[in-house]
Structure 1
Amino acid sequence: MTSDATASPAGKIALVTGAARGLGVEISRQLAALGAHVIVAARDRRQAEGTAAALRAEGGSASAMKLDVTSEADRLAAREAIEAAHRRLDILINNAGILIDSPDGGTPAERQPSEARESDLRRTFEVNFFAPLRLTQTLLPLLRRSEAPRIVNVSSIRGSLTHLSDPTSPVYPIRALGYDTSKAALNAFTILIAEELRGTPFKINAVHPGWLRTGMGGDRADMSVEDGAHTAVRYATLGDDGPTGGFFFLDERLPW
């Protein structure tokens, strides 16, 4: 894939979840700078409004939305609000996610898989898998109205079964059952819905943003959020000849 596979998002309507901090803020900023109207979605309305106001102050177009991605009521309200304001949705970036297996992305899980708590697994899957699944399903009617709908699922290299089973991989020692398997499930959903919609204008991909210096990634991470947002933005702005049903880090196609 090369840069000529991208298209300008100017005038597009984009929804970014988990957009009040970290990677979500930067994805929103970069999309707004490219001319998209960004709906900044977060559990805390005041934080979402603060981010949206900052984007507008920088010359972008942005609005705020309270959206707890685990809440069916919030998901339905989001669809109604977007329908009323814009009639369509062009870009959905499922960015919201949690990591509770360990203090940060560079630290091995506090519990080995054989000792993982069911409550932690269920909580992680609710946010990292079921929420983006249900939100995508809920917003699909609005995305179908777009001439070039794009869905980006923010995954992780730790959702790659190839990397999880490779002793030479940097993620091999982490063994975070909740986070890793929730991202693997998100990857599987990406494949299946992309195949369902293959042959339509939809482009649906999973992305690994990199190991980022955020609250989740930790201070030892080797990438900034500015660099980390590039992959999500790139696949949110794919041209008609861009890929679908893939797993990417920048130009690199990652192994499932």
Structure 2
Amino acid sequence: MIKGLKIISFLLIVSAVGFLYNVVYKSSHNTYFSNFFIENIRHVLFNINLTSAHKSITPSAGTTTTETPEDILRRGDSIIFLETSDRMHLPSLVLCALESAARVYPDRHVFFFMKGINHTASQDNEEVILRHYPTLSSLNNIHIVPLIMEDIFNSTPLFPWYKKINATKEPHWIHVSADGCRLALIWKYGGIYMDTDIISIYPIPHYDFLAGESNKYSSNGVYGFPAQHNFTWTCMEDFVQNYNGCVTGTG
């Protein structure tokens, strides 16, 4: 009886090994599958290391600090995300983008500006808001703050444009306002801006950079500059001068 069980166990192990061989190695001609498999394994191992590093260099959950979000932003090395719609139910992709940035940049702060929380009670603090997003609440370097466009555009070339525009008549307001907000925030505070569909795997080794979209154009989905950089100021001036609310991407 025991001998029979040993034989059956051996055959099951051989079958399992054969299955893994077929899945991993015989699919190696499929580049997408191979890269997906390897990158996901690498990502898991990378995040295990980052989790321990994150706990060792960020404040503990009970630590208090006198620094305001504004003070932290003015350090100039934050990662900035935006949500210019009023939605509060965040898709998994957005939550993944925020969490991956917080883990990949454990020594930097991740700010998520949300228009939807402008309408919440002023007494609500970050801890209360973060409780709505359990996957983010354990990360000490994530801050969810109100997106108040008048404050963001103030003292920039975008402010007069914002004051005279009627947002209710703009067909692409969510998108064009996001374009303007990212420029104003990076000009004011510096740091890296990222779209909420960008998943961080490794840190970007530059503080001032653009990402190429083609051989003629750069992307505004991710970029980084120090505060008060001439380039971001010029971009805001160009935004206002060439703005066409009927066409997305012209701001």
Specify if TM > 0.5. no
Q: What TM-score results when the alignment is normalised by the length of structure 2?
A: 0.26
Structure (1 or 2) with the greater helix fraction:
2
Which structure has the greater CA radius of gyration?
2
What TM-score comes out, normalization by structure 1 length?
A: 0.25
